């Protein structure tokens, strides 16, 4: 199931204390923003999370630049790194699956046999060589 775009309100409540509220509808986000007295910025975040578009800002104070820096460094960068990690995990899983498919078609390696003696002489396994222990 594909994710839809989200609307984020990021507030700075106290010095460098950021809160993020997520909404599915822009109208819900705008209604919620009307209730905030502190500085806030409303963003539209794409479904993959790597693109943030500022839609509006408001509140009382001068910390809008701090919020924008926080959003760029933390929200957007985190989404980009998560997307990169997901790609890396998918590539690793595909490589592991290819290795397992290759191994499934190979003949098993023969077991090591003791040189002379052992089962060939008296029918009992040679337990003096740990390389042949099961």
The per-residue pLDDT of the chain, averaged, comes to 80
Residue with tokens 């052992």: 118
Per-residue pLDDT band at 1 (split at 50, 70, 90): very low
DSSP 132: G
- Whether 112 maps to a domain, the answer reads no
The predicted model scores a pTM of: 0.56
Residue 12 lies in a domain: yes
Give a yes or no: residue 80 inside a domain.
Answer: yes
pLDDT per residue as tens digits for the range 55-108: 999 999 898 999 999 988 887 766 666 667 777 788 888 888 888 888 777 777
Task: Tell which residue, 78, 5, 3, has the closest CA to residue 46.
Answer: 5
Domains in the chain: how many in total? 1
Residue-range definition of the domain harbouring residue 54: 6-102
The verdict on residue 55 lying in a domain is yes
pLDDT tens for 38-57 read: 999 999 988 776 788 999 99
């Amino acid at each position: 199931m594909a994710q839809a775009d989200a609307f984020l309100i990021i507030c700075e409540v106290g010095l460098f204390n950021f809160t993020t509220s997520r909404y599915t509808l822009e109208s819900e986000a705008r209604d919620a923003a009307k209730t905030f007295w502190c500085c806030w910025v409303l963003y539209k975040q794409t479904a993959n999370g790597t693109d943030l578009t500022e839609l509006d800002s408001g509140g009382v104070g001068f910390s809008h630049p701090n919020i924008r820096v926080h959003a760029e460094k933390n929200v957007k960068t985190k989404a980009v790194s998560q997307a990169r990690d997901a790609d890396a995990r998918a590539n690793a899983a595909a490589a592991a699956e290819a290795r397992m498919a290759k191994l499934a078609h190979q003949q098993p390696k023969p077991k090591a046999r003791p040189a002379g003696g052992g089962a060939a002489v008296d029918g009992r396994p040679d337990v003096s060589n740990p390389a042949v222990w099961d």
